[in-house]
Structure formats: C-alpha cells, structure tokens
Amino acid sequence: MSATRRSRIIRFLFFRFVVSIPVLLGIIFLTFMLIRIGGQDPVAMIAGPVADSAMLSAIRSQLQLDQPLLKQFLNYVLLVSQGDLGVSWQGGKPVLSEIKQLFPATLELVFLSVGLAALVGVPIGMRSALKPNGWFDQLTRFCSLAGFSMPTYWLGLMAIFVFFYLLRWAPAPMGRLGVDVVAPTFVTGSVLIDCLLEGNWSALNSAMSHLALPVLCFALLAAAPIIKQTRAIMLEIVGSDYVRYARANGFSQKTIEKIALRNAAGPLLTFLGSELTSLLAAAALIEYIFSLSGLGQWGLNAILLGDFAVVQGYVLTLALCSMLIFMVIDLLVLMLEPRN
C-alpha cells in the first residue's frame, strides 16, 4: 500500500471518528428525550397495581425521575461515558451485560441472512442485467417484487405454519436450541461459533436447524432489494462507455462481466451496508416470531414496557453498530476504488 493511500485511509478513519462523536451524542439526546416525552411512565409499572402514591414517589425518586430532564440527561451521558448504560427495571440487570448476552444472536441472524441474500441476490441481479427483459429477468423481477411485498411478520408465520406445523420439517420455533440440548459455554454468544469452539456437535446440529428457517425467511426478504439494486447498478455499468469500449475491443463476455463487477463493487457494498443496518433493526420481528431471544426482541419488549435504560441502550447499540458497518464499508470502497 502506497504512503499516500495509507495516509488517506488514516485521515478518513480519523475524520469518521471525530464526526461520530456529535452524531452519537445527538442520538443519545433524541432517544433520551423522545422516550420521556412519549407519555410513558415506568414508575407505575414497577410499583405494580397495588401501589399507593407514597410508593410511587419513592420509586420515582429512586430512579431519579423526579429530577429535571436536563439533569437526568447529563447524568446519563456521564454514566455512558464511563461504560455504564444503566440498569433495566425488569429484573435489575445492567443493560450492558444484557446487550453482551443478546446482541450476538441478532448479529448471527442478520449476518447469515444478508450473507445468504447477497450470495444469491448479487449473481441473479447481475444475470438479469446482462440479458435485460429476457425470461430470466422477467422471472427475477416478479420474484423480487413478491419479496418486497411480503411483510416480515406474515412470511415468518407462514414459514412456521408450513415447515413446522404442517410438514414438521423445521424444529419447534422456541429458541436457538432444542429443549433437550445442552447449550455450549458462552464464549462469543454466537451459538454456532460457540458449538464449533466446544466441539459440541449435537448442539451445533440443533442450532443450525433452529436458525435455518428464520435465516431463510430473512434472506428471502433481504434478497429482493439486493437483486433489484444489483440489476440497476449493473444495467448502468453495462451501458457505460468503458464497457462498450471493452466490447468493441472484442473482450470476452467473462472479462466484461469481471470489469463490470469490479466497478459495481463500490455501490453494491454501500447498498449491502445499508441493508445490514436496516435488517439489524428489522430483526426484532423475526426474533419475536421465532423466539430467538436477540437484541431486537429485548428492545421491542422494553419499548412496550417503558424500560427507559433498555430502550436507550438498544438504540445506542444499533446506532453504534450502524456507524461501524458504514465505516467498514466506506473503508472497503475506498480500498476497492480502481482509481486509487
């Protein structure tokens, strides 16, 4: 790597890091304020239905919810800066430790799904673009439209109904492992990786079978926009001057495809990055239906119950993760840029 390129990358990373600080602060501020002005009051929920006003006041004071909003916010920022995301009122567990436990399940689901969707979607989109309006292209467009139109929730329920209830092919959708399986020791939090590390093959089999259906459902939904976007990008590239020039020079179809793919890599990676981040948030529904106990399911529950610290921790984690994904993608694009 040339010195100029290295310094360009370092400058890029530094710039992104500096920019991320105010962005994160803004996200923390917005989440903090929105959840508090949203009309939810966790105090009554914590106290239970037999609470009197004295009990409510005591809990409010204990949670420091009786303090001015700005003071509450500054206290929270101070805690976050020390790596403390607060405590969930549901069970009193530290939010950070819950995130460490649950986030790997979400990452596992999303990365496998997007990986599978990309593996299938990119070549299909490319082939469609290379022979536009042919039978394959028409079929692909129809399928991707169907993929776009299916709500996640509906697709998940239908998959359970067909593959679990009717055909009995899929295992019971209640968790990441069967009830009779000994879970591997928590190392990374990804059941698949932990099973492999431990050599726990029966758990690995169970984990793969439990993940197969949710991953297929999620991949199906993710593949539709990937196919569409790949096709659009490739159509633009195939019609570009440099591809026409390559054709005129008599390059083979395979070489032209290689050239096109190299040029499409940048916009495709950027798109895959945005897919990853949007699916991180959308994973909540798949986790909910298949009882996968990931971060999304936990965050969704917290939103319904007004568990402020958890909601804030959930949003902050997603924001951080999104920023990290985009940073990596942008870095990759920078490195793949043919003009560099």
Partner 1 sequence: MLKTQASVLTLLLILASNIFPVVWAQEKTLVIAMNSTPKGVDPDIWVPGQIEATVNLYEGLTSYGTRVGSNGKLEVDPSKIQPHLAESWTVSPDGKKYLFKLKHGILSPFGNELTSQDITWTYEKSAQQKRTGQFMASVGRIEKVEAVSKYEVRFQLSDANRIFLGALTLHLPAIFDSVEAKKHATADDPYATKWLSLNSAGFGPYHLQSIQSGQQAVFVVNPNYHFKKPYYTKVIWREVPSPATRVALVRTGQVQYAEQIPFQQLSVLRTDPAVKVESVPGFGGATVRMNPRYPPFDKVKVRQAVAYATDYAAIGEAVFLGQGTRSRSMLNSPIAGAVNAYKYETDYNKAKQLLTEAGYPNGVDVTLEYSTNWWWEEPLVLQMQASLAKAGIRVTPKKIPSTEMLARRTINVWTVPFLTHLTSSFVPDPSYNMFLTAHCKGSSNVNANCDAAMDKLIDASAIERDEKRWLSLIEQAQNLQADSATFIETFLPGTHEVFAACMKGYLWKPHNRLVWKDLNCSS
Which parts of 102-121 interact with partner 1 (CB under 8 A)?
Answer: 102, 116, 119-120
Gap between the Cα atoms of 196 and 190, Å rounded: 10
Binding partner 1 (rule: CB under 8 A), the pick from 43, 109, 259, 280 is 43
Per-residue contact flags (x/-) with partner 1 for residues 251 to 280, judged by CB under 8 A: ------------------------------
> Does 205 participate in binding partner 1 (rule CB under 8 A)?
yes
Phi, psi of 36, rounded to the nearest 5 degrees: -85, -30
> Does 174 participate in binding partner 1 (rule CB under 8 A)?
yes
Lookup: tokens for 23: 């962005």
How many C-beta atoms surround the C-beta of residue 18 within 10 A?
A: 9
Judged by CB under 8 A, how many residues of this single chain contact partner 1? 71
Nearer to partner 1, 194 or 323 (CB): 194
Nearer to partner 1, 52 or 241 (CB): 52
For residues 296 and 106, is the Cβ–Cβ distance under 8 A? Answer: yes
Binding partner 1 (rule: CB under 8 A), the pick from 24, 45, 96, 150 is 45
Lookup: tokens for 164: 């679990």
Q: Under rule CB under 8 A, which residues in 1-40 are in contact with partner 1?
A: 38-40
Closest CB 275 distance from partner 1, rounded Å: 17
Nearer to partner 1, 80 or 213 (CB): 213
Lookup: tokens for 138: 């028409």
> Does 49 participate in binding partner 1 (rule CB under 8 A)?
yes
Query: For residue 72, how many C-alpha atoms fall within 13 Å in the half-sphere facing its CB?
Result: 20
> Does 172 participate in binding partner 1 (rule CB under 8 A)?
yes
Q: Under rule CB under 8 A, which residues in 121-160 are in contact with partner 1?
A: 123-124, 127, 157, 160
Closest CB 307 distance from partner 1, rounded Å: 9
Return all residues near 27 (Cβ < 8 A) that are at least 6 apart.
315, 316, 319
Nearer to partner 1, 244 or 262 (CB): 262
Nearer to partner 1, 39 or 83 (CB): 39
> Does 57 participate in binding partner 1 (rule CB under 8 A)?
no
Alpha helices, DSSP H only, in 160-200? 191-198
For residues 208 and 192, is the Cβ–Cβ distance under 8 A? Answer: yes
> Does 208 participate in binding partner 1 (rule CB under 8 A)?
yes
Q: Under rule CB under 8 A, which residues in 275-334 are in contact with partner 1?
A: 288-291, 293-294, 297-298, 301, 304-306
How many C-beta atoms surround the C-beta of residue 177 within 10 A?
A: 21
Instruction: DSSP letter for 166, please.
Output: I
> Does 73 participate in binding partner 1 (rule CB under 8 A)?
no
Stretch that binds partner 1, among 70-78, 168-176, 313-321, 325-333 (CB under 8 A): 168-176
For residues 94 and 85, is the Cβ–Cβ distance under 8 A? Answer: yes
* Ordered DSSP codes for 110-161: HHHHHHHHHHHHHHHHHHHHHSTTSHHHHHHHHHHHHHHHS-HHHHHHHHII
Lookup: tokens for 19: 């920019």
Closest CB 42 distance from partner 1, rounded Å: 6
Distances (CA, A) of 171 to 166, 175, 274: 12, 10, 31
Binding partner 1 (rule: CB under 8 A), the pick from 22, 68, 91, 250 is 91
> Does 193 participate in binding partner 1 (rule CB under 8 A)?
no
